[in-house]
């Protein structure tokens, strides 16, 4: 989408060599409906449009030798500056990179509270380091693995952010129960049929006693987090120890 952004809506500006990849999955389900309803906007910027030669070159061999190609700072700088002229002031500029800290729900909430984000999608061996330094770009990773480019990572970041914008999810309580919102993984969920292949739904969930159900769900979330994500469990315990005792 290359129309002027509605500054009243959260806007994702995506700098990419493959604008045709968007909206992709972002055009479906919750994010897609929210996009149609102007709760958020998507703006793609084709980095090749800022190349200066007839071949629209965006990369070159790395100084010092080595395999692969590196995205050029002059082309990226021109694309970034042109985007910043159109985007809302002080919008965070993020480079999707395995070198960055891992994206978490706290950062997603911060992004959702702002006007949007400018997302730079790298390719090849990455981008010239001077671009990161000159524009003080925030590097963000999805995890300890490498993708072919930043586009899929950008989609994941956008999806995570858009789903918590007001009006996107019908029942706000479902967001409060999400994994990580309370510092824990989400508790197990069950639905019909009550008996499936000899496996019964836990009896407490059939009791209708909301207090007991809430206690069971919290206990399950704590147990899952302790077993599967000891790093999160340690943070959760530390946060609880700092809470004032009533």
DSSP 4-37: ---TTSEEEEEEES-GGG-SGGGGSHHHHHHHHT
**CB environment 133-169: b (16+ within 10 A), e (fewer):** eebebbebbbeeeebebbbbbbbbbbbbbbbbbeebb
Q: Evaluate whether 70 touches 61 at the Cβ level (below 8 Å).
A: yes
Q: Evaluate whether 11 touches 88 at the Cβ level (below 8 Å).
A: yes
Residue 143 CA to its chain's centroid (Å): 12
Among 92, 88, 98, 152, residue whose Cα is nearest residue 127: 98
What number of residues does the chain have? 246
Catalytic residue among 74, 115, 125, 223: 125
To the query of whether residue 98 is one of the catalytic residues in this protein, the response is: yes
Catalytic residue among 72, 107, 123, 163: 163
To the query of whether residue 171 is one of the catalytic residues in this protein, the response is: no
Residue with tokens 């479906």: 28
To the query of whether residue 20 is one of the catalytic residues in this protein, the response is: no
Catalytic residue among 23, 62, 92, 98: 98
Cα–Cα distance, 40 to 114 (Å, whole number)? 12
Catalytic residue among 177, 178, 181, 223: 178
Instruction: Give the distance between the most distant pair of CA atoms in the chain.
Output: 71
Q: Evaluate whether 133 touches 79 at the Cβ level (below 8 Å).
A: no
To the query of whether residue 163 is one of the catalytic residues in this protein, the response is: yes
Run of H or E including 117: strand 116-120
Catalytic residues: 98, 125, 163, 178
């Amino acid at each position: 989408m290359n129309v002027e952004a509605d500054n009243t809506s959260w806007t994702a500006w995506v700098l990419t060599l493959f604008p045709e990849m968007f909206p992709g999955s972002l055009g479906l389900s919750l994010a897609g409906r929210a996009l149609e309803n102007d709760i958020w906007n998507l703006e793609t910027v084709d980095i090749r449009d800022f190349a200066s030669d007839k071949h629209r070159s965006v990369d070159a061999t790395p100084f010092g030798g080595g395999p692969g190609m590196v995205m050029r700072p002059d082309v990226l700088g021109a694309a970034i500056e042109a985007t910043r002229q159109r985007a809302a002031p002080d919008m965070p500029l993020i480079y999707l990179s395995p070198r960055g800290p891992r994206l978490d729900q706290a950062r997603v909430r911060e992004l959702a509270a702002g006007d949007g984000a400018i997302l730079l999608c790298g390719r090849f061996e990455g981008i010239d380091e001077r671009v990161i330094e000159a524009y003080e770009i925030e590097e963000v990773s999805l995890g300890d693995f490498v993708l072919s480019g930043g586009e899929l990572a950008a989609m994941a970041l956008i999806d995570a952010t858009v789903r918590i914008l007001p009006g996107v999810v019908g029942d706000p309580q479902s967001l409060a129960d999400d994994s990580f919102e309370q510092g824990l993984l989400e508790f197990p969920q069950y639905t019909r049929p009550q008996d499936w292949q000899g496996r019964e739904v836990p009896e407490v969930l059939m009791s209708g006693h909301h207090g007991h159900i809430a206690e069971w769900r919290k206990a399950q979330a704590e147990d899952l987090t302790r077993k599967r994500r000891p790093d999160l469990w340690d943070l959760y315990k530390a946060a609880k120890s700092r809470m004032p005792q009533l």
